[in-house]
Chains A and B, each alone.
Chain A
Amino acid sequence: MKLLHYLDKPLFSIRLAMFLAIILSIHPAQAEIRQIYVSNEKSSTLTVLDGKTYDVIRTIKTCRRPRGVHFNKDRTQFFVGCADDNVIAIYDTASGNRVGRIRGIEEPETFDLTPDGKILVVSNEEDATASFVDIATGKVIGTVELGEEPEGVQITKDGSTVYVASEAANLVHVIDVKSMEVTADILVGTRPRRFALTPDESELWVSAELAGLVDIIDTRSLKVIGDIVFLPTGFRRNEVTPVDLLMTRDGKTAFVALGRANHVAIVDVASRKVETYILVGKRPWGLTLSSDEQTLFVANGLSDDISIIDVPSRKVLKSVPVGQVPYGILLDEY
């Protein structure tokens, strides 16, 4: 929308037009959000919001306790992990219709997709395993034994390695995708939850919920080389419980949802300093950034709503009530 302003001005030239065209082609920046899917863990529903007005369009009944949500490779479908039904349901992105089910996945919590789009690596919370699921056949092709309560799953860009955090064991497991074997267990802060990788994949960031910080792992030495402690004004250490985190594509900025502290932290990645804290709803966990990186969506588990943040101004634009205990958010963009 902002670009249109420039077009009205005399500055406008062919060169600028070309420049803009390049920008547009690099960033799917001007992509618009068609609709927003929110998984609601306790009401076992997906709330669908209009991508522009943020009004709730409809509510889709799902399998029980839907948590992790993830697109397939071309984003035409998405997966929803239902912990209480041991199922991963597959939905058509455009219509929101359920098109398939992968059964027999013990308590799926979150998952990631291999870069070829063929395998889902799923953390099985109750079984203390990660399973490798062949999407085409719906079959589990491998299982890796991990520490108790595995949660966050992160696959590297080349698809060679997957990191899984075990909440109750305070470990980050490094798993070789090809052999499906654990190659290292890294001890981190109390209750590790989710990951973000820097764009060059040299640093793996992992949130440690009950340590109130993010641990930074050097992916070569597999050692913790630093941490970032979060402490919004007026909070004590044990009231700050970071869970979801993500990084911008340029690797300059990270967003961290602080759980019980009811804030989202914005972190300067290079200096590892917190730039600001944004007040959101109660117990924010799930984070999703629009592909133009202008809008951040936050799932507030204990106020049953999502906060929508304008990233440039760092202000909450709106909060929208969804179902009970919202967990994950997906943006259907075009």
Chain B
Amino acid sequence: MNFNSLIFLIAALHFYGPAIGASTDKIQTVSLGYAEIIDDPRYEEKRAYARIRVKPHHRPVAGAEVAIRDSRILGRALNIKFQVLLTEANNAKDLAAQIKRMNRDLGVEFFIIDADASVLDFIARETAAMNILLFNISDFSDDLRSSKCRANLMHVIPSYAMLADSLGQFLVFKKWREVLLLKGSGPGDAAFATAFVRSAKRFGIKIDDVRDFVPGNDPREREQNNILLMTSGTDADLVFVSDIEGDFGRYVQYQTQGPLPVIGTEGLQASSWHWAWERHGAPQLNQRFERHANRRMQGPDWAAWTAVKSIIESILRTESIEFETILAYLRSDKLNLDAYKGAPVSFRSWNNQLRQPILLHTYNAIIERAPIRGFLHPVENMDTLGYDRSESRCQLER
């Protein structure tokens, strides 16, 4: 396939009037890259029996598009035209090759990558020696932020640890101290459950039992497929479900033996974004997104938006389009990006993870925003979520 045919352009759809004070200067163009995997299994239309869609999965590229649109007037002020160049490939190897080519031929240095941990890890290794910075917007793995962390890979989407810690704080806040943990066998289920076990230890929550579920109706496996039985014989105050795909998890609420609330991947959930968030200007971002994409904004959409905005903000504040200058600002504590969650966000210097408030929500309401009041940190309360500097196995700071 021809390389050029794989690059699409999202330019700011805006006519640039003469910019003030610089009207005679030539308008510069800054191109950001956006890369994704064709037929990424995470976006397969997940349909359960009888074609019921369990959870909607959408490609988050619309988030990057909205961020470019949002920056058109900033571009007028700076005399810069921002655009995103899209590329896609069938596998990690080809995608890494595309990225290198875009860097070499078109000078693209910042890439938003919508791919899973293995692809991210491969691309990060392949491009480590180049002037390229990558942004993870859709993979939650804690490994990527700890043992496998890389200096050239930023994480905008929160980690499982951050999501689990948000829920852990909520339980402590409610004094719901005893949990029954149910977990599935799909991708991510074990990782999210492990993250919650860590949170439980951190926040003094007791895990009464961990039970694996197996989908099916086989009576010989009823201890693992019957929710009534799986939730019996426990003193737990609630059930934590780790079932990312959700085909089992959706049956846990109201099927428990006792009247137990459900949290995790069902019931009360932790996310980087939710359409029902109505504070800190969020309705405006939600409206812009919905108008553009004809659907509601989700966590990865927000991450794509935030990744693009963090780059543009760094260009704006440094008044530079030089890679090292932008990079230094973007990774410093000077970054003070408004990401519509109240507290300005910035990247943790030890593992490149974006520190951010996390929303705890039901299907249609925001119940709390973590860090929850009372969870204090010597420097920055948002760092009570996920691996703090002293706990991290990743130490990117020299």
Bound complex: CA of A171 vs CA of B288, how far in Å? 19
Q: A170 near B: Cβ within 8 Å?
A: yes
CB neighbours of B336 from chain A (8 A): 189-190, 210-211
Residues in A with CB closer than 8 Å to B344 are 190, 210-211, 238
Whether B316 and A187, one on each chain, are in contact in the complex, defined by CB atoms closer than 8 angstroms, is: yes
- Taking A145-B73, A148-B288, A238-B343 as contacts, is the C-beta distance between A185 and B281 under 8 angstroms? no
- State whether the Cβ of A168 lies closer than 8 Å to any Cβ in chain B: yes
Once A190-B337, A210-B336 are accepted as A-B contacts, the answer to whether A149 and B76 lie under 8 Å apart by CB is no
Q: How many residues of B contact A (CB 8 A)?
A: 25
A190 to B73, CA, bound (A): 15
CB-CB < 8 A to B342: which residues of A? 241, 260
B21: CB under 8 A from chain A? yes
Chain A contact-residue range equals: 20 to 34
Closest residue of chain A to B73, judged by CB? Answer: A147
8 Å CB interface, A168-218 against B:
168-171, 182-185, 187, 189-191, 210-211
Contact status B281-A167, CB under 8 Å: yes
B284 interfacial by beta-carbon distance below 8 Å = yes
Say if the beta carbon of A63 comes within 8 Å of chain B.
no
Q: Is residue A128 within 8 Å, beta carbon to beta carbon, of the partner chain?
A: yes
In the assembled complex, how far is the CB of residue A210 from the closest CB belonging to chain B, in whole angstroms?
A: 5
A149 contacts B281, CB within 8 Å?
A: yes
Whether the pair B77, A185 counts as a contact (CB closer than 8 A) is: yes
A147 to B69: give the CA distance in the assembly, Å.
10
Q: Give which listed residue, A128, A146, A171, A210, contacts B338 with CB less than 8 A.
A: A210
A166 to B313, CA, bound (A): 15
Closest CB in chain A relative to B302 CB, distance in Å? 14
Interface residues of A in 219-234 (CB under 8 A from B): none
Contacts of A236 in B (CB 8 A): 380-381
Asked whether, in the complex, the Cβ of A168 is within 8 Å of the Cβ of B70, the reply is yes
Q: Verify if B74 is at the interface (C-beta below 8 Å from A).
A: yes
Closest-CB distance, A285 to chain B (whole angstroms): 12
Question: Which 9 A-B residue pairs are closest in the complex by CB-CB distance?
Answer: A185-B77, A147-B73, A238-B343, A210-B344, A184-B20, A148-B70, A210-B338, A191-B338, A190-B336
- CB within 8 Å of A: which residues of B? 17, 19-21, 70-71, 73-74, 76-77, 281, 284-285, 287-288, 313, 316, 336-338, 342-344, 380-381
Further contacts, 16 of them, CB under 8 A, given A148-B288, A170-B74, A236-B381:
A147-B73, A148-B70, A148-B284, A149-B281, A169-B70, A169-B74, A170-B338, A171-B77, A182-B17, A184-B21, A190-B344, A210-B336, A210-B344, A211-B344, A238-B380, A241-B342
